Amino acid sequence: MSVLSVEKDNHVTIVTLNRPDARNALSPELLGRLAQTWDAIKLDGSVRAVVLTGASGSTFCAGFDLALSITILNGTRKPENEWDEALANDWTLAHKAMLRGFDLGKPLIVAANGHAIAGGMELLLAGDLRVAASGAKLGLSEVKLGLIPGMGGTATIRDKMGPALAAEILLTSNNISAETAFDGGLLNRVVAADQVLASAMALANAVAVNPPLAVQAARDVLRQSRDLSERESLALDAKYLVELAKTEDAIEGPRAFLEKRPPIFTGR
């Protein structure tokens, strides 16, 4: 049984962490397969949205596997297979797997169907949209271990919620509830655990029916403008608008509206 499941539903790709017996902890093989999957999805023009979830259980992802992955990364265990070797020879493989500094190029909806701790929380933070199970615990536990969240959590959490709550999560390393995270602006939805995937798929399908070039442009402006002045953000906004106005989809959208029919978007 593969540690990672990938399936396609029309223009939505569903990626499932599949190590339920290990609370979907990130082993070298799971990290390697995630990195390969993100590369493939980025190059697949038919994919318009991605959903990341975990196999059924109490935990979406418990973070890095302490026995298998951390021991390879710190050199206290010798590689035993090809996945160990790949991670030992290129630890930036973990960065790509965790979407640290790697832009998937497609909207990512994270469906945290259980607890999201440490690296699991960093995967949640990597999403463009986020759905979590009611009662799930979310947290970054690294400071308690003498470290900091090194897969993007420390650097990006400030952009995903209020600064007071972000600081509390980082500095105390205490978990918060999904409900608290929702109130703090991190999550789009909090639903029953058995409804998390359906809720995330509803969001993904709502994204996927839109013209992909417009979605990509809106996502790019949203992400890039965090580091720009208002003047620079408005200039970027104008640049994308001019480019989009020349596309076939920008002609098809208004035409379909006037003809009272569903639009057919081709990404051109």
In the annotation, is 80 catalytic? Answer: no
Strand, helix or coil at 74? coil
Give CA–CA dist 253/246, Å, rounded: 12
Question: Which helix (H) or strand (E) covers residue 51, if one does?
Answer: strand 49-54
| Active-site annotation holder among 7, 80, 82, 142 | 142
- In a 10 Å sphere around its CB, with 0-12 CB exposed, 13-18 middle and 19+ buried, how is residue 264 labelled? exposed
| Residue 178: CB atoms within 10 Å | 26
DSSP state of 64: B
Give CA–CA dist 61/25, Å, rounded: 6
| Active-site annotation holder among 29, 122, 243, 248 | 122
In the annotation, is 122 catalytic? Answer: yes
| Helix ranges, the chain (H) | 28-43, 70-73, 82-89, 92-97, 119-125, 153-156, 163-172, 178-183, 196-208, 212-224, 230-245, 248-258
Question: Which helix (H) or strand (E) covers residue 115, if one does?
Answer: strand 115-117
Q: Mind telling me the catalytic residues?
A: 122, 142
